[in-house]
Chain A
Amino acid sequence: MSAMKNGAGKLRRTRLTFRRTIWLQLPLVVWLVVLWVLLWEAVTPITLASGLLIAVLITRFLYLPPVELGGRFNLIWFLAFTVKFVALVVAASVQVTWMILRPKGVPTSSIGAVQLRTRSDLMITLVAQVTSLIPGSVVVEVNRHQSVLYLHVLGATSDADLKRAREQVLRNEERLVRALGSLRDIDAINRHRREQGKRAIAAGAFSYFLRRQNER
């Protein structure tokens, strides 16, 4: 993406970042091959080779700016997040079903703004995705530059309801950052936590750094 911003030095930059581009596209290619093999339901040389061919063709000809991954992955926090997420999805389904079936229905809801603490595209996307699947909230608008999410909160008829929805989003943001946020994301969370007088979170044991964290 940075190669696209500089108009003048574009050619030089593109050549310089060629290896980096391959590195950035690699996760996507691997994922596409895995997807292809899963769809064929068989791991054979032919499915692997055709999958690799198609993945390379897709990434060459249907080019999109690569997703900048955080470069950090924490297995323990990721598992914790997954368990919590499944529980929240079940709770969301039950809660919405109850609101559908209860006699008074849902007369009023609210639209609330949530200021996220992290700024990376990946984190905003993931938090928005998770927020749409957990109880009470659907994302109706995203302000990418200021990382603000606007949620429609089902059945929120008081400021306390809105506050609860907001805090839930921020808790999920924190869980996601612990699982796969970059060190910069962790810094952003910690700055906020210190203001509130809470203990800072650390990158933690079982963190795997897939890329050198040079952005700090």
Chain B
Amino acid sequence: MNWPVVLDWVSGFLLIIGAFFSFAAGLGLLRFPDLLSRLHSASKPQVLGLASVLLAVVLQYPTWGIITSAVLVMLFQMMTIPASTHMVGRAAYRTKHLKRSALYKDELAEVIEKADRTRSEDPGSGGNG
């Protein structure tokens, strides 16, 4: 078997892997019970999926332009995904878009409850906690 054929097989395999993980991410959005769990599905399998697709592209066109673009795409994924999931998760929690029944333990609620209690006992301490 000559080298380009091997490359084609590897790229094809990577594309299938990428498609599989992206599909799993979509399925997770349907199957998970609440918004916070769905954030996991939206932020993780698709990173690996995208990475495999980009790797396949780089293997097919191994030029500097393509490689640097792929690295940049990955870098910005890694930088923006945590920020966006954090913002959505935080907003969801504060607007109470979460299923309490889907949580075994919630240490954030305990902290907020405690903060609320001290604030009601001491109204002089100011509003925004």
Show the binding face of A for B, using Cβ within 8 Å.
Answer: 35, 38-39, 41-42, 89-90, 92-97, 99-101, 105-113, 128-133, 136, 138-142, 150, 152, 154, 156-159, 162
Interface size on B, residues (CB 8 A): 46
- List, in ascending order, chain B residues with CB within 8 A of A99's CB: 28
CB distance from A134 to the nearest CB of B (A): 9
* Residues A111 and B41 in contact, CB atoms below 8 Å apart: no
Interface flags for B33-54 (1: CB within 8 Å of A; 0: not) read: 1001101110111011100000
* Residues A109 and B81 in contact, CB atoms below 8 Å apart: no
- List, in ascending order, chain B residues with CB within 8 A of A156's CB: 104-105
* A to B CB contacts below 8 Å, 9 in the list: A93-B45, A93-B48, A96-B28, A100-B32, A108-B103, A129-B78, A132-B82, A133-B43, A138-B39
- List, in ascending order, chain B residues with CB within 8 A of A93's CB: 21, 44-45, 47-49
* Residues B102 and A142 in contact, CB atoms below 8 Å apart: no
* Residues B107 and A112 in contact, CB atoms below 8 Å apart: yes
Bound form: Cα–Cα A90–B18 in Å: 12
* Residues A129 and B27 in contact, CB atoms below 8 Å apart: no
> Which of B21, B49, B102, B105 has its CB near the most chain A CB atoms (within 10 A)?
B105
Please name the residue on chain A nearest to B86 by beta carbon: A139
